[in-house]
Amino acid sequence: MSQMELIEEKMEERVDRILSCFSGRREELIVILQRIQDEFGYLPEFALIRVAKFLGVPEAHVYGVASFYAQFRFKPMGKNVITVCRGTACHVRGSPMVIEEVKNRLGIEEGDTTPDLRWTLETVACIGMCALAPCVIVNGKVHGKVTPRRIAEIIKAVEGVEKK
């Protein structure tokens, strides 16, 4: 068995462990997908196929639901994730410029991951922190009143820590 297959088998075990917490009712689909994404950071194709079998629904149904919701991803995430809020307050207080800065700095578009899997850039409709707009979440930590200069510093700081 190749190393790749070994890894995949391990991943399948992890999916099965998640599925064993559920009873197989169709209404559980979204929660199951959320748990799988919590585990892997995205929804691997083989996992979707397994979920379809588990719930007794066509694979197309599982993919249809998964692709409907913005939360679900079908590609692995980078090690570091930048989420820029594009809510109304953030928009009028300059989030488009922050997004531009991140794009230029990392050379990726919204929703993409750098080829070295170090950074992912996401946008979110609104995180409800409008009073401190514009806001950015970097690796789970929320930053308020972010400017292009500030986000550049944050990125540099994370990269600095990684080099050490």
Partner 1 sequence: MNVEGLERLRQEAKNQWRELHSKPLLTIGTATCGRGAGALETLETIRRFVADRNIECGVVEVGCIGLCYAEPIMSISLPGMPIVFYGEVTPKRAGEIVEQHLLLGKPVAKYAIGAVGDGEIKGIPNLFETPMMRKQVRLVLSRCGFIEPANLMHYLANGGFDGLQRALNMERMQIIDELRRSGLRGRGGAGFPTWRKWLVCIQTPSEEKFVICNSDEGDPGAFMNRSLIEGDPYSVLEGLLIAGYTIGAAEGFIYCRAEYPLALSRLREAIAELERVGLLGDNILGSDFCFRIRVVEGAGAFVCGEETALIASIEGKRGMPRTRPPFPAVKGLWGKPTVINNVETLAWVSHILRHGAEWFAKHGTEGSKGTKTFSLAGKVKRTGLIEVPLGATLREIVYDIGGGSASGREIKAVQIGGPSGGCIPVDLFDLPVDYESLTSAGAIMGSGGIVVMDEDTCMVDVAHYFLQFTQRESCGKCVPCRLGTKQMLTILEDITHGRGKSEDIQLLEELASAVKVGSLCGLGQTAPNPVLTTVRYFRGEYEAHIKDRRCPAGVCVPLLRFEVDEGKCTKCGRCARVCPVGAIAWERGSFPIIDRSKCIKCRACIIECPEHAIN
Q: For residue 127, state whether it binds partner 1 (rule: CB under 8 A).
A: yes
Indicate which single residue of 109, 128, 163, 164 sits in contact with partner 1 (rule: CB under 8 A): 128
Name every residue whose Cβ is closer than 8 Å to that of residue 110 and which is 6 or more positions away in sequence.
99, 103, 121, 122, 123
Name every residue whose Cβ is closer than 8 Å to that of residue 15 and which is 6 or more positions away in sequence.
36, 39, 46, 47, 50, 51
Q: For residue 63, state whether it binds partner 1 (rule: CB under 8 A).
A: no
The tokens of 133 are what?
């707009």
Q: For residue 28, state whether it binds partner 1 (rule: CB under 8 A).
A: yes
By CB under 8 A, the count of residues binding partner 1 is 45
Pick the piece of the chain touching partner 1 (CB under 8 A) from 10-18, 46-54, 112-120, 138-146.
138-146
Indicate which single residue of 52, 148, 150, 158 sits in contact with partner 1 (rule: CB under 8 A): 148
Residue located via tokens 């075990």: 13
Indicate which single residue of 97, 103, 114, 158 sits in contact with partner 1 (rule: CB under 8 A): 97
Q: d(Cα 48, Cα 42) in Å, to the nearest integer?
A: 11
Residue 132 or 158: the one with the smaller Cβ distance to partner 1 is 132
The tokens of 3 are what?
């190393």
CB 129 to partner 1: min, Å: 5
Cα angle, residue 45 at apex, residues 42 and 48 outer, rounded to 5°: 90
In the DSSP assignment, the letter for residue 83 is E
**Site of interaction with partner 1 (CB under 8 A):** 25-31, 33-34, 64-65, 68-72, 86-94, 97, 100-101, 104, 124-133, 135, 142-144, 148-149
